[in-house]
Structure 1
């Protein structure tokens, strides 16, 4: 807006100059106005286009330098990126890469709120999409953005109690914009799909869970290929710490198993349709496989933690240790297992953050 406002000011001043109303000294007060006048003074449309490109790129690079040198994150970052996105046809590939270079550390170091992170990533995906349609684009940039989105999505379930429907909607839109540029490393997209499943499972809001689950299905239509560590394309770089309970072709992730047994009917419906996208696994088979692969999982659960309709008086702690799998609802067991794993992930994450602060 400021750029085009400056152009209008320059136009008015040019009219006054031609009418004999020159400014004192014959110089414009702002270099931006002078540059716009020079761009408009070019005779051919191609020359005007090149001049406008150069001017827009120069202004964006000024903002990049501001981002690099700012002690804190500019509060208007999403709005500025939206404005840049509206003018993206004037930007060169080098400028787009410079912008991504400047903003990537903000997301990697989690200096931006979740809302701003997803808005930023979504703006860049849309910007790359426009460039791809106009001039083509190096697939390295979309892959970098997908890696940044993978980091941002982790915040959805590490801070799940803070995620509102608005933030969930922005996150889903970011994933959707990235789907239009589905290129690059398949491991990155499978990781994004898994993080959306985790966000769906950890969310306390049903509409958020449904949106996350649907986005996970869009990110990778075949859940077994997305989440099975034995898949040939993923085996090379798969993280063993994120594998499902049993790594064989007929299993899928424990996150999806839990969602298939979620207490909300719409979540169950979506999760079941997700799992049935592959002919190898239905919801009953998924749960049976999970029970078998988890080694007869029987956690020691205090009576107060059991659901209200299953609560029974407990006389001694020995009765708790003999708690059988069949006496506890399967969805509660899966949720309990998820909470244990989530606590471990959160503890590791906070420990890493403390170490980084200590070293800095």
Structure 2
């Protein structure tokens, strides 16, 4: 995962940079923790990009500087204006990390550091890292400021604003999700995106031919982000975004459910899949580390779904399953 910025605040003369060094599994949980504690945004620096076999075929990313990334694991950073108590914020972060450990989440090193930085245009300088990214044969993700001409009539462009919890599409969880979606989504199907985040999978679904998509997320910030990205792609007539706690309270049925979230979260709603999916409906789950894939597979089978396929990339797994 490349540096990912969500920037909502205004300028200040001084910033307190708070950094949490963790592992890949805990990125989403810790990012949410920082936002819940009042951070206006997060940046994510992932060591994995330095070992990836990048190609320039689609102008993805060039000239990565190793100094910008940790030697291992992931650094999650946020910037606090000078009027906010950095020491108090760091103390709250450490308490939150301890709570995560008690709940059984592996947060890795979980080292928390803080330093004062002078005002810089850090909210914009990262744009140099992002270029249009060809994720599958049919799907290309494009930062809204970049010019890009599709290379074929079948190539679909997903416009995203990196100021809104941007997912670049380079992370294996997103790539694997979209590859399975391209394979299993039928034209004119309906899709529910659980834990939609920036809305990228809902947008991808309609770009692949879905007639309707419902994007659900419990986080109001994610709902706002997804709604804005949906409008950016001019698909607001067929993608509905709303707050929702997984599949709780959902009465309508759908052809496909997609979820790019933690394995521990997926198993919380697999029992709802038989109720929500139509006969023959498809579930696509991603965001699963290899060590937790068995947990998800067993939960799907226990609830009567047949696992069709598992795909792997860089320690991550995505699963396609079917309701008979």
- Which TM bucket (shorter chain)? under 0.3
- TM-score of the aligned structures, taking structure 2 as reference length: 0.27
Structure having greater relative contact order (Cα 8 Å, sep ≥ 6):
2
- TM-score of the aligned structures, taking structure 1 as reference length: 0.25
Instruction: Judging by fraction of residues, say which structure has more strand.
Output: 2
Instruction: Judging by fraction of residues, say which structure has more helix.
Output: 1
Larger Rg: 1
